[in-house]
Structure formats: structure tokens, C-alpha cells
Copies of this chain bind each other. A is one copy, B any other.
């Protein structure tokens, strides 16, 4: 299957390659007549420029790289969606790599993308990662770079984030507004910044409302799973501390809590209210429907690509680029699991 090239069109028309190229790119120094002829023949021969050659010549691939911890995750697939859509709109394609939360793999992926000479990289760090060399490499090579969600504050790149602390505060405030006074927090793992921030938000909300912080009401997940939620729910019932509200690190775990409460006949929200985080699909289909905090995943993707494109374009013009940070708004979504009948 011979691919048609400029050369073929040129020789068929008895003109030079240069002219053919110019005609197709609508250069002003080609007569309308030849333009017409070239375009017609190109169409007929189903000409499509060899992207390899174009890349080599123009030094850009119109392709960006995206590294995320996992694809099979409601939040990330939302982001992926936004990035792909926005990228495509601007003529860019997206290569997706998965770090599986492994630092080792993440390093490989970065090397792969640099090697592939993508025009830019968007990335959410794995839990193990921080301000490591491979990330600094990206900046050193002056590859446009945007971080989102799990970021390293030490890396001076553009970022798209939410304010986890504020979002958590609002969630807990909502519980308080609903009349909860003894509020537990099922928090995430030790390291990730968002787990820390959400915990801090929880603390601050209590403080602001004059509710004493009690560290025995904080339960730390060893893994972000449904079962973990079930387990803590069990524990909470056994301990019988009079907890009347729970703020859970993420919906999946919260659903585990709800499942156990349902089984034990605990009335949610009247006995214990529960609020999750992230607005997973499952939160809308569980009974009772789970109140949660919406993270605008799609919008984060769009914002991330927009920032990246800005940097790509400004670097192309030789300008220096000043990293920007976009903080997107979250929103408490009130559903049945916190809506006490009074």
C-alpha cells in the first residue's frame, strides 16, 4: 500500500514539491489555478501528510502525554475525559500511561514520554512520588508540564487543584448544620496530601464551631476499599461512643459504612449521618443516597489541558512561561444520607 507523497503529486502535475506543499498550506505565493489543481489531485489520491516527516521538520508532534495512577477510577476517568476532549478540540492527541501508584513505573513513564518527545505532559503523582528527579527532569528539559490532583508543591509547574481543606470543612460544616455534634472522620492514608488536607479541614470545621477535637474519633484507612468502610462502621457501633455523624475520605468507603449500617438497622441519617467525598456514581444509586462533595473532574481535565496549551504556545514563541495555579470549586451535594428529618 503505497502512501501518496508530495513528490508523487508534484511529478504528476509537473511542478515542484515545494509548490505542492505550499499550495496545500495555502501559501500566498501560489496561483489559484495551481492551488486548485493540487488540492484536487491530493483529494483524489487521498493524500495525507506523513506525520513522521512533519514532526521531524517542525519538531512538534501535536501529542501530549498523560500519566495517572489508574484509569479505572471514577475521578480519573472524568479527568481523562476532559483532557481528551479539550485536546482534540485543539488538534492534540493524548497518550495515556498508568503509574499504578508505583514510583518505579512512574519514572519509566516519564522517560518514555520524554523520549517520545511529546509536546507536553500532564500528570497526577503517585502516592509514593514527591519532588523526585524524574519530575525535575521534565522541567529541566523545558517540557511544558501541568500537575493536577495529587501534586508536589515543591515543583514549580502549573497546577490544577481543588481546595481539599476547604471542601472538607464545608462537608463537616454541613453535618454540623444538620445537627451533628459528635462527628467522626474516616480518613485516608498517611501520606497523600489530599488525605491530610481533608483531615485538617475536618479539624478546622470542628474548631470553628466550638466542638472539641477528639482524636479517638478519627479512623485511618489502610486501603481505600468498601470493606474498610464496613469494618470501621462495625467498630463504631461496637465502641458506641455516641457518634452522630461521619465524614468519610471517599464515597467508596462511605458506601461500606452505609452497607453495614443498613444491615444493622441503623437509621441513616437520623441516628448517624454520613457524608462522603468525590461524588462517585455509586453515591447516587445507593440507599440512602449518599451526600458527598463533588470534585469537578471533567473541568479539571479541561483546565489542565488549557494550562498546558498556554505553556506550549508561549514556549513556541520563545517567551518564558510563568506557571499558573487554578483552583476549582467543589460543591457539597446534599442527598439522603445527611438530610435529617426534623
Chain A interfacial positions (CB closer than 8 Å to B): 1, 48-53, 55-56, 59, 61, 63, 70-74, 77-78, 80-81, 84-85, 88, 93-98, 112, 114-117, 140-142, 226, 252, 255-256, 259, 262-263, 281-282, 284-287
Contacts and interface: CB of A to CB of B under 8 A. Distances in A.
A96 B98 contact: no
8 contacts: A1-B141, A51-B116, A52-B61, A71-B80, A72-B77, A72-B81, A85-B98, A255-B285
A94 to B, nearest CB: 6
The A interface, classified by DSSP as helix, strand, loop or mixed, is: helix
Contacts of A93: 95, 97, 112, 116
Contacts of A285: 226, 252, 255-256, 259, 282, 286
A78 B84 contact: no
A117 B52 contact: yes
Contacts of A73: 77
A200 B117 CA distance: 50
Given A50-B117, A284-B226, A285-B226, A84 B98 contact: yes
Contacts of A96: 80, 84, 94, 96
A112 B95 CA distance: 14
